[in-house]
Structures are given as C-alpha cells and as structure tokens.
Amino acid sequence: MNGWILAATLTLAAGLTASLWGVATGPLRRRVVAQNLATAVACPGLLLLAQGYDRPSYVDLALVLALLGPVGTLVFARLLAGELAEDPPRARGVTWAAAGLGAVVVLALCAVTGPGRATAKLLVTGALLIGGNLVASRALTGGAGGTGRA
Amino acid sequence: MDDAVIAVALVLVAACATVAVATRDPARQALVLSVLGVVLAVLFTVLQAPDVGLSQLAVGSALTPLLLLLTVRKVRRRGQREESGR
Amino acid sequence: MSPRTRLWLVAVGGAGVAALLVAACLGLPAFGGDHHPYGDRAVEASLAHRTANTIASVNFDQRAFDTLGELTILFAAVLGCVALLRQTRDEHRARPEPAEVAPPVRRYALLVLPVALLTGLYVIAHGQLSPGGGFQGGVAAATALHLLYLGADYRALERVRPVGLYEVGDGVAVCAYLVTGIAALLGGAAFLANTLLPHGTFNTLSSGGTVPLLNAAVGMEVACAVVVLLARFLDQAVEIEEESGT
Amino acid sequence: MDVFAYLVAAWVFLAGCYGLATSRNLIHAVGCLSVCQSATYVLLLAVGYRDRATAPVFSDLKPGARPVVDPVVQALALTDVVVGATVTALLLALVVQVSKRHGTVDPDELSELRG
C-alpha cells in the first residue's frame, strides 16, 4: 500500500471528474473554468504519482504541464474572448482551492525530498503551476478584455 | 493499488471521449478535447509510459485546441460576412 | 441517403465492428501479463548501446528507419498545409488591430516565454536519458514561442518569427537526419545504423552514439513544423481577408 | 481488469466513429477523428503494460533493479501522437479550403451542392 499513489488516485478521481462534469455541461463560462481546473488538478496528481512510483524523472511531465496548461487556457481566453465578455466567468473559489492544493502537494513533496536539485525543480514546478493558474483564471474573468481581436 | 489508479484513469478516458464526441459545437468540443489530452496523459503515466504522456501533454494541452479554435474563427468569420452580405 | 438510413447503416456496421473488437479483446493476452519477448530484447539492445532511455533507443537507433517514415509524414502534412492555406489572388492582408492584454497576462507571458523555451530545449537535449526527446521538446518549444501572440499581439509575434527561416529549418532538419543515415552507410554499416560515434558513458549527455544527433534533428524538424503550421493558421484566422469582404 | 483496458480502447474507437458518422460540422468531425486516434494509443500501451513494472528509463534507476514495461509499443505511440497532430492540422486546412470554396462546413449541405 502506497500512500502517495492513494493520494494521487483520490486527487485525480475527484478533481478530473469535477472538471469533466464542468466542461461537459453548463454555459461557456463554466466550461472554461473547468478546463483550467483540469490542469490545476492533474499537475499535483502527476507530482504525487512521480513520488509514489519513486521515479524523480516523472516530474518532467508535471513541469511541462505546469508550463503549457495555462498556455492552453490563455488560448481559450483569447480566442473565445467575444463570447466570454458577454458572460464573464467567476472562478475565485475554485482557483484558490486549486492553488492551495498545488501548494500543499508541492510543500509535502519538498519536505520528503530534502534539499537538493530535485527540490528546486519541484519548487519551480509549483511556482509555475500556481502562478500560471492564477494568471489564466485572471485572463478568463475579464483580464483578456478589450476588443478581443487579433 | 496500482490497479485502482489505472482503473480510475481508464474510466475517465472513456467518459471524456464520450463527452468529446457528444459535444457538437466545435469550440466547446475543443475545450473537452483539451481535458481529454490531460486525462490521456495521466493514463499514460500510470501505464508507465512517461514519454508518451509528455508527448500527449505537449500536443493536447495547447497545440490542438489552438488549431481547432483558429479554424473555428476563420470559418465563423466567413459565415458572418456572408450573412451580412446577402 | 437520408439521415435515417445512414443512422441504421452506422448502427449495423458499428455493432459488427464492436462484436469483432470484443472478440479480439477476449483473445488478447491478459492485461499486465509478464510475457514481452520483444520488449525485453529491446531493453537489452538499448543497454548494450549505453542509451539510458530505452524508448529513445527504439526510436532513434533500433527503429530509426521507422522514425524516418514518421518524419516524412510530418513533412508531407506541413507541405500540404502550406499549399492549402497560401494566400490566393482574391485575398488581401488586413492589419489586425492591436489587442489589449491585461498587464498581468502580458507580464506572465514575457516571463514564462524564456522558461518554456528552455524547458523545451532541456526536454530535447535529455531525450536519450530521461523521458522526453525531439518530438515532445520540439512541440513544447514551438508552443512556447506563441506565448508572444497570447501575451502581446500577432504583430509582435511576426516580428520575431521569420516564417521563411523556419521553413528552411524544417527541410534542413530532415536532410540532417538523412545525412546521418547515409554517413553510417558510407562507414560500411546499414542505413541509419548506430556505428558512427562511440557509445560513450552510460547516462551522460553524450551517450548513445548517433541517438542524440538524430534526436536533435527531430527536435528541430518538429519545432519548425509546428511554427510553420501555426503561422499558416494564424495568417488565415487573423490577417487574410477576401477582397469582396468587409 | 484483464480485458477492461482493451474494452475501453474499443469503446473510445467506436464512440469516435459514431461521432464521425453523425457529425454535422467538419471541424467537429476532425475532433472525433482525433478521439479515434487516441483509442489506438490506449490499446498499444495497454498491450505493453506489465504488472508492478516501471518505465524503461534508466536515468534514475539501476538497470535490472525493477521489472520494466515494453518500450517498443511506447515508441510507436510516442511518434504517432505528434505526427497525428500535424495530420489533424492538414485536415483542418482542408476544412478551411472547403469553407472558402463552398461557404459551408456541413457535410450534408456539401453533398447537396455536388449532386
């Protein structure tokens, strides 16, 4: 029995089911927030899996997701700006919950890993994840604003 | 324990693929496809294929949605112009 | 054909395929079985060539010819896109209006752009050691470049992205892959055989003989291909308008 | 669990095919095709999986310390993910052309135009 994999299973099952439900139903403003949530939940899940399988090299996946996931959300924020401006999303609660989850997971993993290059990588991943999701969520809730052209 | 996480990922992939097909509006389908990309990457990781997961993340999270949305925008822009031109 | 008949046809055909697929699934070796003769031999061959990432070894050493086929598909797909999405005579370019981007988004994009580019290069460079390689890193690096479109606007991206250069880079990368293969041929071995360079020390950046070279060629090819593809689509969606239009 | 993974792959493939056949929008059809593609990755990786094994990547693992899964199917899936994306791009370019020529992306309207 491996506690890390159990935690990853619970995180992924709950978080991704919620974001799948959100992305499948409801108005557009809920769907884009759910898409952002999928990134924010999958990234800590991948970090927990890397620890659970005892393979530090799996952290690369979380790093790439933390970088490109918010880029994907920014794509939606930019190209759907017209529709989103009519009915702007509200995502403060979800965003901060996801950011909190990311922070807790990264700190727990850092505590286990101990100082070194691996910890630095974890911290970078965590910073990119949390920063990226906050910015992406900001862009969705009207930050992209303006004319929504080009 | 490994089996449980694989089963969860498989069920998520099946559900997500079904939703992606059932979503008829291309822009909303692009959103579902981007979630499908993330879920597939998780499945590949638990099937111990991090290389494929990385590939899927790189392609599925930003590239495919961007291509789909740009096509939607081009086609819509044409459609709108024809509506107004008639 | 009326939609109703078509739906029936799909149902009948789908049921047939479903039955066959289920029968095939029941006949496959059980999931998670221990019998992988080909895989075990691939791992041994990879360790013999001192390549730490077996998947990179399969891609760029044991089945390098297969990867050449994949590269050809990639190249052909990009060529097709460029031909299909070129600017025709009855279309003209309209200057897109500059977009207004919220300051935090702009700062984020400019801050993350170099980090993402570096990560892409890291993923390519460590392809033969840790998970990653030319295919993944190339896509990541090329996507990162488009943060400039998201963070600023399309004209900012156009300034730092001479598409012609990337088109040339795409061709050069395919040629580099072929030249590496032919060099092995000239050295008296088979096409794309990994005999050109010493295999090096296990688990270092220079290990694996020609694997890092082919890996870098693929990384360049994929990155250039994605940039060219997205450039064509962005042109169509943002800039090009028909003459009769607005 | 013995065949569940294979059945999921079959389900994803059939769902994609259903979407392709009943699609009213070519962009949606291209999306369904990419769902079909992902079914092949699931099937390939499921065939290569081995219980209680780990990835055959030895940068942080001593060779022989743990059983490893099959790398060959992973290499096949890996290249196809990226190449599949560019083929999707080619199809989308065709859709853009169709919309330019015929002014619609509904396959039913397109067949009416022709006949």
Which H, E and C letters describe C171-210, residue by residue?
Answer: HHHHHHHHHHHHHHHHCCCCCCCCCCCCCCCCCCCCCCCC
pLDDT tier at A10, thresholds 50, 70, 90? very high
D74 touches chain C (CB under 8 A): yes
Q: What backbone phi and psi angles, to 5 degrees, belong to C241?
A: -130, 155
Rounded to the nearest angstrom, the minimum Cα separation between A68 and chain B is 6
Q: Is pLDDT at A144 greater than 50 in this prediction?
A: no
Long-range contacts, stretch C179-185, CB < 8 angstroms, 24+ apart: C180/C210, C180/C213, C180/C214, C180/C217, C181/C64, C181/C65, C181/C68, C184/C210
Residue range(s) defining the domain that contains residue C101: 52-242
Measured CA distances, D46 to B38, B52, C113, C185, D51 (Å): 18, 13, 36, 37, 11
Point out the residue among B28, B69, B72 whose CB comes nearest to the CB of A31. B28
Instruction: Give the pLDDT confidence of A99-135 residue by residue, as tens digits.
Output: 999 999 999 999 998 888 889 999 999 999 999 999 9
Please check whether residue C132 lies inside any domain of the structure: yes
Q: How far is Cα A76 from Cα C44, in angstroms, rounded to an integer? A: 45
D114 touches chain C (CB under 8 A): no
What's the gap in Å between the CA of A40 and the closest CA on chain C? 17
Q: How many CA atoms lie within 13 A of A72 on its CB side?
A: 36
Interface of C with D in 105-124 (CB under 8 A): none
pLDDT at A114: 83
Question: Over chain B, what is the mean pLDDT?
Answer: 90
What residue of A is the nearest CA neighbor of B24? A24
Chain B residues 54-83 with a CB less than 8 Å from chain A: 54, 57-58, 61-62, 65-66, 69-70, 72-73
Interface test with B, best of C84, C139, C154 (most B CBs within 10 A): C139
- Yes or no, beta carbons of B71 and D96 under 8 Å apart: yes
Tell me the sheet residues that pair with C53. Answer: D57
Partners of C93 in the beta sheet? Answer: C240
Write the burial class of residue C23 (CB in 10 Å: 0-12 exposed, 13-18 middle, 19+ buried).
exposed
Domain assignments of chain B as residue spans, ordered by start: 2-85
Could you give the CA distance from residue A128 to residue C147 in angstroms, rounded to a whole number?
Answer: 14
pLDDT band at B84 (very low <50, low <70, confident <90, very high): low
Q: Is D1 on the interface with B (CB under 8 A)?
A: yes
Interface contact D49-B43, CB threshold 8 A:
no
Segment among A29-33, A72-76, D105-109 with least mean pLDDT: D105-109
> What ipTM does the predicted assembly reach?
0.93
Q: Does B31 touch chain A (CB under 8 A)?
A: yes
pLDDT (mean) for D67-96: 93
Query: Across all residues in chain A, what is the average pLDDT?
Result: 88
Structure tokens at D80: 């196809």
Partner-chain contact C123 A149, CB within 8 Å: no
Burial class (CB in 10 A: 0-12, 13-18, 19+), A73: buried
Q: Which of D7, D13, D86 sits opposite C229 (nearest CB)?
A: D86
Domain residue ranges in chain A: 3-143
Check pLDDT > 70 for residue B59.
Answer: yes
The C-alpha atoms of residue A12 and residue A40 are separated, in whole angstroms, by: 11
Cα→Cα distances C42→B53, C46, C216, Å = 20, 6, 22
What is the number of domains present in chain C?
Answer: 1
Nearest partner of D75 among D67, D83, D63, judged by Cα: D83
Residues of D with CB under 8 A from a CB of A: 54-55, 57, 59-61
Shortest Cα distance, chain D CAs vs residue B11, angstroms: 8
CA distance B3 to chain D (A): 8
Chains that touch C (3 or more CB pairs under 8 A): A, B, D
Burial class (CB in 10 A: 0-12, 13-18, 19+), A46: buried
C113 found inside a domain: yes
Q: Mean pLDDT of all residues in chain D?
A: 91
Say if residue D43's pLDDT is above 50. Answer: yes
Mean pLDDT of D93-115: 84
Query: Is position C5 within any domain?
Result: no
Task: Measure in Å the smallest separation between the Cα of D55 and chain A Cα atoms.
Answer: 9
Closest CA to A72 of C228, C122, B57: B57
Read off the DSSP letter of residue C62. Answer: I
Helical packing angle, D26-48 and B64-85, nearest 10°: 170
Q: Say how far apart CA A57 and CA B67 lie, in whole Å.
A: 30
Contact state of B71 with D52 under an 8 Å Cβ cutoff: no
Separation CA D33–CA B10 (nearest Å)? 19
Interval D77-101 mean pLDDT: 92
* Res. D9 pLDDT band, cuts 50 70 90: very high
Classify residue D11 as exposed, middle or buried by CB count within 10 Å of its CB (0-12, 13-18, 19+): buried
Mutate to test the interface with C, among A64, A75, A147 (most CBs of C within 10 A): A64
A57 touches chain D (CB under 8 A): yes
Verify whether the Cβ–Cβ distance D90 to C14 is below 8 Å.
no
D32·B26 Cβ contact <8 A: no
What CATH number should be reported for the domain holding residue D33? 1.10.287.3510
Helix axes C134-145, A59-79, angle to 10 degrees: 40
A-chain residues within 8 Å CB-CB of B56?
none
More confident residue, C32 or B40: B40
Q: Are D41 and B52 a contacting pair, CB within 8 Å?
A: yes
Q: Counting Cβ atoms within 10 Å, is residue C95 exposed (0-12), middle (13-18) or buried (19+)?
A: exposed
User: Which residues are registered as beta bridge partners of D68?
Assistant: D54
Q: How far is C72 from chain A (nearest CA, A)?
A: 27
How many structural domains are present in chain D? 1
Question: Tens digits of per-residue pLDDT, C22-49?
Answer: 999 999 998 988 889 999 999 999 999 8
Measured in angstroms, the CA of D68 and the nearest CA of chain B are apart by 9
Residues of B in contact with C234 (CB under 8 A): 70
Q: Tell me whether strands C91-93 and C240-242 are parallel, antiparallel or unpaired.
A: antiparallel
Cross-chain residue pair D31–B78, CB shorter than 8 Å: no
Question: Would you call A132 and C100 a contact, using CB atoms and an 8 Å cutoff?
Answer: no
Candidate from A45-49, C93-97, D17-21 with smallest mean pLDDT: C93-97
Local confidence band at A149 (pLDDT 50, 70, 90 cut-offs): very low
In the predicted model, what is the mean pLDDT of residues D39-52?
A: 93
Tokens of C127: 């392809």
Tell which wins on pLDDT, A102 or A143: A102
Read out DSSP for C12-48? Answer: HHHHHHHHHHHHHHHHSPPTB-S--HHHHHHHHHHHH
The backbone torsions φ and ψ at residue C13, rounded to the nearest 5 degrees and listed phi first, read: -60, -45
Q: How confident is the model at residue B2 (pLDDT cuts 50, 70, 90)?
A: confident
Range of the domain at D30: 4-114
Contact D38, B10 (CB under 8 A): no
Which residues in chain B have Cβ-Cβ distances shorter than 8 Å to C133?
A: 51
All residue ranges of chain C with pLDDT < 50 are: 245-246
Question: Closest partner residue to C18 among D14, D57, D69, by Cβ?
Answer: D14
Q: What percent of chain D has pLDDT over 90?
A: 71
Question: Chains touching chain D at 3 or more Cβ pairs under 8 angstroms?
Answer: A, B, C
Q: What is the mean pLDDT of residues D38-62?
A: 92
pLDDT at C161: 84
